[in-house]
Structure 1
């Protein structure tokens, strides 16, 4: 039995006063487990995938001309108006996405830390540990680059604090702002590279998402792989044709 010495460094707290996982609410106990973190990462990933797909489809309106995509941007700002003030519901969705990003990043970080602390005991588990660790490193690198790109993308196109502000940027005009930003080759190339990395990230994420949710069966693996490949190709191609069109003058 450990002796309690009050007022001295290193003194141990009585066991009766220590917080235990059993005393925590069930959702917190669940999220503190590896399974809970995988579920949090998977469900937040579903939200983010939905946003990425619908955001891409909305942006394709730029090929219909300035009026089409600018009208779409105004529609988003007036969602649920006049029930709510203008742009309020849009900001509610943005805050929800920010929350999903934070949950996704924190859960991924916790899982990476747990994997690094793992100690394989035989050859087969060592092979599995190396494979998982490699996937984690790939996801971490691509996810970090995509996060920095997202912040730059918002600053440059939405807030007008990037170089696009001096190249024809206009507040609330998605078409003019996209052309102003992507007509600069370095920005367009960075956009393309970031979206290719996003496609790789989504391939790994979509493949492991079903496993995290317990939908892991050999008879579904082929469908899971096709879904992951299809999603990665859709996002990779769908998001890169837009900067290519602006950079080459097809959209101007």
Structure 2
């Protein structure tokens, strides 16, 4: 941003800065915000579908393993095994990279533009708290995603349980969540998801250009309700396994 003024004395004493606060970025901030909004909505849809699928664990091993087999073989025989699954994985990986890049780029630009001054007089609220902790909750979620993949997808020791066996989805989930430490870590990550997703979905409404008063009220409600339902659904799974199986 550049400030122009004819007051030469103010300029000379440094009260007015005529130099840009930062260089013109290669990618404009609006494009980064739009990218984060789109990828954030994609993540939100994914965690909802993922949670609904995982709830099949309450129907028993047969149904849960059948669901896991369906994910690996969907589109067969026209598409090779795990073909569709790998397409989704690649799309999500690209989205994660873009989301992380956008987050740190915007955070750095805001910090550079603000300089040594901090925002003052902000009203304390859930939305304010989640906004201030977006980087922290994002890092927690990234660590959890890596752990989750090593644990239940790749079966890499010592993250995965010794009883891990490729293709045995139900048995792997039970073996993993039979460890109290993993359940505690899972719950912490879900609380981070609640904060990150609720604020992210709400912010995405503005970044996607949704400005209607009624729509914003509805979306504000949904941005709180949907993450809460996802997190509750995700938490009851490891607790159920640890206590009842």
Please give the TM-score of this superposition, normalised by the length of structure 2.
0.81
> In structure 1, how many angstroms separate the alpha carbons of the residues matched to 2:161 and 2:233?
27
Task: Tell me how far 1:232 sits from its aligned partner.
Answer: 1.9
CA contact (8 A) 1:181 1:187 kept: yes
2:192 to 188, 192, 197: 197
Instruction: Name which of 217, 226, 235 aligns with 2:230.
Output: 235
Aligned positions, number: 220
How far apart are the structure 2 equivalents of 1:166 and 1:224? Answer: 40
CA RMSD of aligned residues (A): 2.7
Match of 1:12 in 2: none
The Cα of 1:238 is off from its aligned counterpart by 0.7
Higher relative contact order (CA 8 A, sep 6+): 2
Aligned to 1:216: 211
Q: Provide the residue aligned with 1:8 in structure 2.
A: none
User: Is 1:206 aligned to residue 201 of structure 2?
Assistant: yes
The separation in 2 between residues aligned to 1:118 and 1:43, in whole angstroms, is 25
Q: Which has the higher helix share?
A: 1
Tell me which of 177, 180, 184 is aligned to 1:182: 177
Runs of at least 5 residues in structure 2 that lack an aligned partner in the other structure = 1-23
Residues 135, 57 of structure 1: alpha-carbon distance in 2 compared, 3 angstrom cutoff: closer
- 1:116 and 2:111 aligned: yes
**Preserved CA contact (<8 Å) 2:130 2:195:** no
In 1, Cα distance between equivalents of 2:131 and 2:186? 23
| Structure 1 residue ranges without an equivalent (≥5) | 1-20, 22-27
